[in-house]
């Protein structure tokens, strides 16, 4: 198993909870679309990330994310 950061772990958990899928089905290269997320799911994921990570994510920032890895890198950048 690769070394997973706390932010990665939290992001996987949030995505898993919002989409009702096992964390084991999420990879860094997964797109939210490939995981079955629709536009409402994406809003729920963004709100959960903002709430649990203490950050604010703009629509443009999140829309630029093509993979779970991109989401993790965004959260890492925005964390104080």
For residue 71, pLDDT over 70 is answered with: yes
Q: What pTM was computed for the model?
A: 0.91
Single out the residue of 4, 2, 27, 1 nearest to residue 76, CA to CA.
4
Has 38 been annotated as catalytic?
yes
Find the mean pLDDT for residues 39-47.
97
Q: What per-residue confidence (pLDDT) applies to 80?
A: 80
Domain boundaries, the chain: 6-78
For residue 1, pLDDT over 50 is answered with: no
Could you say which of 33, 38, 51, 59 is catalytic?
A: 38
The CATH fold assigned to 6-78 is: 1.10.1200
| DSSP single-letter state for residue 67 | S
CA 63 to chain centre: 12
For residue 43, pLDDT over 60 is answered with: yes
């Amino acid at each position: 198993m690769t070394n997973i950061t706390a932010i990665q772990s939290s992001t996987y958990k949030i995505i898993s909870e919002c989409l009702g899928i096992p964390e084991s089905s999420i990879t860094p290269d997964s797109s939210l679309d490939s995981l079955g997320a629709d536009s409402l799911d994406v809003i729920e994921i963004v709100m959960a990330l903002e709430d649990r990570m203490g950050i604010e994510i703009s629509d443009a920032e999140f829309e630029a994310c093509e993979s779970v890895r991109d989401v993790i890198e965004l959260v890492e950048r925005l964390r104080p």
